[in-house]
Amino acid sequence: MAGHSVGPALGRMIKDVTSTWIEPSSTGAALLLLGRGSDPSAEKGVECPGELPSPSDPTLVERAQRAKAALGDRLFVLGHHYQRDEVIQFADVTGDSFKLAREAAARPEAEFIVFCGVHFMAESADILTSDTQKVVLPDLGAGCSMADMAALPQVETAWELLEDLGIAESTIPVTYMNSSADIKGFVGRNKGVVCTSSNAKRALTWAFERGEKVLFLPDQHLGRNTAVLEMGFDLDDCVLYNPHKPNGGLTPEQLRDAKMILWRGHCSVHGRFTLECVEEVRERVPGVNVLVHPECRHEVVTAADYVGSTEYIIKAIDAAPAGSAWAVGTELNLVRRLANAHPDKQIMFLDRNVCYCSTMNRIDLPHLVWALEELAAGRLVNQITVDADTARNARVALDQMLALP
């Protein structure tokens, strides 16, 4: 999807097939939203032990610097692009989820990998690093709502349905990097592949060389946008599987005829951008360039000028001429950081309403300071581990992605 340039006309023709509503789970939602209680199958909602420093403590920066210096080369801190500035300043490397996991694997001398991101990212780092390395997530409540939208029992039920219909053998599962280790393991067991927003087209091309259809997990929008805008499929070739409805809310004929079986999942940040957001900013800022992430809805992507991954968005802004105007449809921390880095350009958030990734923002300076000080004191906290069987199968799917042409 990176670098894809499209016009606004198609967006007005899209039907309501791209609705992003998801039925809530029956978990104790109120407690989980507060980060209390425990749900081992969820990407969020696990309390952290220990006493956190006060967020108003003026010595937090100094404490983080001191703890990091004490750990020296034993520590490697990863910072996702969506992290707040107070945290990203301590990252040894910044990047998207897959880049950071690979960077962790390339530092075998680091005993502790502190991942300033969300749970599935730390899982991927644990899968790709050695057994002697320990991956730490400063706040165990930092999860991913998109990853939670595809739970392993739900996906296994869907796969059993495809088996009953006699189409599982011709279906290749493809999962977005933004999924749990369980889902990556399922994909590895079933001869599929992991993809990122940068290589989704290559992953789908690989899949269609080996099967007649794809089960795409868990982000419906990345799957639809890649299939339709990058690979020439029609919207009618895509069906939306809703795990909260019998048979996914689809008929056997729909499943047999589909090329892309899209899981009903989405990013809570990118899913909020609408066609009205694009139309409003074009009216308000003449000549503005609209640049969005492919996790956005299909009608938003087709109305944008440029579409690409997080890394593509950063490079596009870096290369833009002085004086140009850009409305960016991705997480607000990154947009603000880009605006501050390029004062000679007019860079704004696509939606006039503020929208941070709430779970990503759980990694704050108090949690980071607490984790670093505990490690410096010889106490391992908040370690993220993936069981051996799941890790082995997930590694198969990740290695297949690395081998993509």
CA gap 237, 205 in Å, rounded:
15
What are the tokens at 89? 């300043």
User: Can you say how many angstroms the Cα of residue 356 is from the centroid of all Cα atoms in its chain?
Assistant: 14
144 annotated as belonging to a binding site for a ligand: yes
97 annotated as belonging to a binding site for a ligand: yes
357 annotated as belonging to a binding site for a ligand: yes
Amino acid letter, 153:
P
* Buried b or exposed e, range 162-171, using 16+ CB within 10 angstroms: beeeebbeeb
Q: Cα dist. 14→268, 276, 332, 393 in Å? A: 20, 14, 27, 37
195 annotated as belonging to a binding site for a ligand: no
293 annotated as belonging to a binding site for a ligand: yes
197 annotated as belonging to a binding site for a ligand: yes
CA gap 138, 358 in Å, rounded:
15
270 annotated as belonging to a binding site for a ligand: no
80 annotated as belonging to a binding site for a ligand: yes
267 annotated as belonging to a binding site for a ligand: yes
Phi, psi (degrees; rounded to nearest 5) at 89:
-65, -20
312 annotated as belonging to a binding site for a ligand: no
178 annotated as belonging to a binding site for a ligand: yes
Cβ 51 vs Cβ 126: under 8 Å: no
Contacts of 131 (CB under 8 A, 6+ apart): none
For residue 361, the SS3 value is helix
Known binding residues for iminosuccinate are: 80, 97, 176-178, 197, 293-295, 310
Known binding residues are: 80, 97, 144, 176-178, 197, 267, 293-295, 310, 357
Known binding residues for [4Fe-4S] cluster are: 144, 267, 357
